[in-house]
Amino acid sequence: MRSRYIFHLLTLVGLALFGCTSGGITADHSANDPPRITIDQVIQKMNQDDSIVFLDTRNDIDWGKGKTKIPGAIRVRNNEELAQIYKTIPKDQFIVTYCT
């Protein structure tokens, strides 16, 4: 139980640091962009025991400078890696990407 609490806390800190929006599509994003998820929505899914795959898409410099990394997040460095990783994630899996 304690490890789940720590995971929730680290996830919240990570998402807060990496600039999640407060909800919906923001003014600088078009309707063709993927939907954004809020921190509250991530917490709700985690509390429902929904399995979430976190993809860390920060560039090498920002990733190296980052003090916080979500435990278990999959590091994606480029589109080629993304294509390979995508093949391994079950189609019904909920995916959250984050970057700076």
CATH number of 2-25+34-98: 3.40.250
Whole-model pTM: value is 0.64
Mean pLDDT over the full length of the chain = 76
pLDDT of 30-39, one tens digit each? 667 778 889 8
Question: What is the per-residue pLDDT for 50?
Answer: 80
Instruction: Indicate the burial class of 17 (C-beta count within 10 angstroms; 0-12, 13-18, 19 or more).
Output: middle
Domain ranges of the chain: 2-25+34-98
The beta-carbon contacts of 75-83 under 8 Å, at least 24 apart in sequence, are: 82/55, 82/57
Q: 69 or 1: which carries more pLDDT confidence?
A: 69
Using one digit for the tens of pLDDT, what is the confidence trace for 49-95?
Answer: 888 999 999 988 999 898 888 899 999 999 899 999 989 999 889 99
Confidence tier at 22 by pLDDT (50, 70, 90): very low
Q: Mean pLDDT throughout 25-44?
A: 74
